Amino acid sequence: MKRAQILAGLSIGAIALTFPAMSDAPKAPPLEPVHVPFERSCEDTEITVYFSNQEAVLSSYAVRSLNTAGDRLAGCSISNIEAKVISADSTDTERSTTLSEARAAIVLEALNARGIRARDVRMNFAPAVVSDPAETTNLPMARRVDLTVTASKGYGL
């Protein structure tokens, strides 16, 4: 009788040990550090920066996006930056223009801080078509700066 209980206990233990191998849990990370080589790409890049309603402040996501673009374009020769600013969160034309200019300025300052400077910077303030102005608080796509950065390999790359 005791032998049967011991065998049952061992078989339950063996089954319990196989469950982690059969589970959907992710595997443990490797113990050795993994080196992923960074490859610089001096290609034309498109960056979109979204803003909160009625604000011209960069969010943490926008800062990360601009940091990534700065890392990718480091050492490249930037010939021009084309910025298309869309600000549909203000019904007043003067307020919308001021907000658009502030958003464009803060994005370009952030790019300059990361070493991305262009000889030619072109701005395009595009009005967003919104049927109901009350809906603009729910339209983050109507509060953005679309950047097209034209890059090529710089000297010595």
Amino acid at 98: T
Domain-located, residue 149? yes
Of 69, 64, 83, 86, residue with least CA distance to 130: 86
Look at residue 28 and tell me whether its pLDDT is greater than 80: no
Domain-located, residue 39? no
Domain-located, residue 33? no
> What tens digit of pLDDT does each residue of 10-26 get?
777 767 666 655 556 67
Look at residue 156 and tell me whether its pLDDT is greater than 50: no
3-state DSSP assignment of residue 50? strand
Range of the domain at 117: 45-153
Domain-located, residue 89? yes
Domain-located, residue 129? yes
CA distances (Å), origin 107, targets 57, 91, 117, 128, 147: 9, 23, 12, 19, 9
pLDDT interval class at 106 (50, 70, 90): very high
Look at residue 36 and tell me whether its pLDDT is greater than 80: no
Predicted pLDDT of residue 95: 77
Domain-located, residue 91? yes
3-state DSSP assignment of residue 80? strand
| End-to-end Cα, the chain, rounded Å | 79
